[in-house]
Amino acid sequence: MNFKHTCIATAALLVAHAGYAQTNNDVAAEMKQLRDELRQLRLEMQALKTPQNSKLEQATPSAPASAPVPAVASVAPPVAPAQEAAPNAVSLFGYGELNMTRPRHNASETVATARRGVLGFGYRFNDRTRFAAELEVENAVVSSGDKGEVAFEQLYVEHDIHEHLSAKMGLFLLPIGYMNETHEPTRYMGVQRNLVETAIIPTTWREMGIGLQGLSEHGLRWNAGVVTSFDLNKWPTDSAETKASPLGAIHQEGQQAKAASLAYYTALNYDGVPGVNVGGSLFSGGIGQRQPTMASPNASVNLTELHAKWDLGSWALAGLVALGRFHDVAAFNASGANGSNPVPDVFRGGYLQAAYRLWRQGDYSLVPFTRYERVNTAVGFSGLPMGLAPATDPDTRVITVGASFYLHPQVVLKADTQRYLNNAQLDRFNHFAFTTQSAAWELLALVATLCAFFNVITKHSAAHAIV
């Protein structure tokens, strides 16, 4: 008789004895205890059957241990589900992105770049506590005078309080919009990230702080937390950067961030209906950082966004709107500290997108798409004399048409064309894009990437030491 049969027989004898010797209430209590013990025994026996050399846990770069966030266009081939990792397991993951952009009316400005390479690594201390980090290199080369950058996108510890509630602390991506947490190239349509979730919602927007996230049995996901905010003192006098992204221009990114004024965020998503996701988020925080020498020490910002997605067979439809407001910036504008580049009162944007899985065979698939976007990064100005305020530009309207060809669920070739309806000089082709997301078990390639990262950092440090 094996161990399992022995346990069952013993339990049966105990139950029989209880029926003669105890009251009904005692019997019920003992029966519950025996059921719990048997359940625990079955779990232990199942654990003994698990191979000791099981593969490392697969994880996504944005949040390796968190609940997955639905992609905007799920007609793309699904990424293989994460495998259960053993306690104390190390996980490695990452992705790379290379692309070429050619302006339609000025071919001499065609640019090809290794836009980004990301290496993520994590450590699971036990079944409830884990660590995650992401290191990113942009534009291939990092040195003084280059446009490259090395930065931590995330650096945090996460702990499961119970089955449907977890907390994280450190530097992490905010759950705002569709793309901020899940920005791997295989997860979005188009060669480049959409305009709304880069200009209005800063791309790879991360803050330092504490966050909570939970999941209900009915498909409701929620997030809330307290984090660092933006710094209005960083507002540039050159308008090019602020027109590209008002919040991106004053983002602190966890680099000695001023924290006299903090921020709060909350997000809700409903996934209770198969193929449907609806949700929204809110961010509110001080940006004046209570600096006594600043004209607007109590300035603040609010950002609200709403989104929806519907997967219907081979179709994937998505939409998002975002609205941001700066408050109490009139004194800052009147002071002239920003030169001729005042802080706007409002910035806003939205898009509609449709993707269709035209063909699939094995790992191969072809997904054409189209997207319409409307963005304005500066709507109205306060604190400036009549007639001196800059004219408000019309909304930038962009139509993007393209396709993604998947060689594998984690490797994609992309091409698209973008037409700017109110400025044809900005029209461009984005093509020859090669993007890939690495699985956690591809250790050899990732270790090589890690060595390259450290080589870049070492050379950069040595150059500064010589100077």
pLDDT digits (tens, 9 = 90+) for 74-97: 555 444 444 444 555 888 888 999
Q: Alpha carbon of 153 to those of 82, 115, 158, 437: distances in Å?
A: 22, 15, 16, 16
49 by DSSP, 3-state: which?
helix
- pLDDT score recorded for residue 435: 66
- pLDDT score recorded for residue 39: 64
- pLDDT score recorded for residue 81: 42
pLDDT digits (tens, 9 = 90+) for 380-427: 999 888 777 888 889 999 999 999 999 999 999 999 999 999 999 999
pLDDT digits (tens, 9 = 90+) for 328-339: 999 999 988 787
Q: What mean pLDDT do residues 445-466 have?
A: 43
More confident residue, 242 or 9: 242
Q: Alpha carbon of 268 to those of 68, 256, 459: distances in Å?
A: 14, 30, 44
pLDDT for 309 beyond 50 = yes
More confident residue, 392 or 48: 392
- pLDDT score recorded for residue 292: 86
**Length of the chain as a residue count:** 467
- pLDDT score recorded for residue 460: 42
The answer to whether the pTM exceeds 0.85 is no
| Residue whose C-alpha is closest to residue 326's, from 338, 316, 314 | 338
Lowest mean pLDDT among 11-20, 35-44, 208-217: 11-20
pLDDT for 168 beyond 80 = yes
Phi/psi at 70 (nearest 5 deg)? -60, 140
CA dihedral sign, ordered 403, 406, 410, 415: negative
Residue 40 pLDDT class (50, 70, 90 cuts): low
| Residue whose C-alpha is closest to residue 177's, from 195, 190, 159 | 195
For residue 90, what is the enclosing H or E element? Answer: strand 90-103
CA atoms within 13 A on the CB side of 215: 14
pLDDT digits (tens, 9 = 90+) for 97-130: 999 999 998 889 999 999 899 999 999 999 999 9
Alpha carbon of residue 193 to chain centroid:
12
How many beta carbons lie within 10 A of that of residue 3, not counting itself? 11
What is the topology classification, in CATH, of domain 90-465? Porin (2.40.160)
Domain residue ranges in the chain: 3-49, 90-465
- pLDDT score recorded for residue 84: 46
Q: What mean pLDDT do residues 17-41 have?
A: 55
- pLDDT score recorded for residue 299: 95
Q: What mean pLDDT do residues 191-203 have?
A: 96
pLDDT for 297 beyond 70 = yes
Residue 34 pLDDT class (50, 70, 90 cuts): low
For residues 212 and 246, give the distance between their C-alpha atoms in angstroms, rounded to a whole number. 27
Q: What mean pLDDT do residues 56-60 have?
A: 37
Task: Report the C-alpha dihedral over residues 152, 453, 62, 396, rounded to 10 degrees.
Answer: 80
For residues 112 and 132, give the distance between their C-alpha atoms in angstroms, rounded to a whole number. 31
- Output the 3-class SS for 284-309: EEECCCCCCCCCCCCCEEEEEEEEEE
Alpha carbon of residue 164 to chain centroid:
20
